[in-house]
Amino acid sequence: MEQAKLRTYRPLAKEWGVVPETLRKFAEGITKDPHKRQQELYGSKFLELHPSGYVQEKPVDGHARALPQLKMMLPADREKAREIVDLVFELAARHPDELPDEAVRIQEWLGKLLNAEFDAEAGQPQQRRRRKE
């Protein structure tokens, strides 16, 4: 959406090799579940603009891939997801002599990250994924 506001959909879609209407529907939150190729395209374009974003190792083709969000590995409910994160650290704290001093800061950071991911979704139409078992 950020790029569409700066340049409009048509030239942006042409540059990215997609149909303008496809791009518009994604940017405006109409498309509930974009195709995997579209997700990869939008993710790679995001990373070009925000290179400090979270990326996995670059595969053979050399294009960065976005890491999945933390919330996608946890229950869809914010409170339940937070309970899981807290439980991990609660269990780790049972061995305080082996727990690194940074554990509390890591737990706080994960909590902030998780909240940010859920907050970002709050303004979008609900489109949670089905969890792969």
Q: Are residues 38 and 77 in the same domain?
A: no
Q: Are residues 75 and 117 in the same domain?
A: yes
Mean pLDDT of 67-71: 80
Six-digit token pair at 127?
A: 């489109």
Q: Are residues 77 and 39 in the same domain?
A: no
Q: Are residues 79 and 38 in the same domain?
A: no
Mean pLDDT of 62-90: 87
Residue 89 has pLDDT above 80, yes or no: yes
pLDDT score for 74 = 92
Residue 131 belongs to some domain of the structure: no
| Among the ranges given (67-71, 85-89, 123-127), the one the predictor scored with the smallest mean pLDDT | 123-127
pLDDT tens figures, 2-47: 777 788 889 989 999 999 999 999 888 898 888 888 888 888 887 7
How does DSSP classify residue 24? H
- Please state, for a pLDDT cut of 90, what percent of the chain lies above it: 31
The neighbouring-strand residues paired with 55 are 66
Residue 17 belongs to some domain of the structure: yes
Residue 130 belongs to some domain of the structure: no
pLDDT score for 53 = 63
Residue 133 belongs to some domain of the structure: no
Q: Are residues 78 and 45 in the same domain?
A: no
Q: How many domains does the chain have?
A: 2
Q: What is the Cα–Cα distance from 116 to 119, expressed in whole angstroms?
A: 5
Mean pLDDT of 48-60: 63
Instruction: Note down the domain range covering 88.
Output: 70-122
Residue 60 belongs to some domain of the structure: no
Residue 99 belongs to some domain of the structure: yes
φ and ψ at 66, to 5 degrees? Answer: -75, 140
pLDDT score for 75 = 92
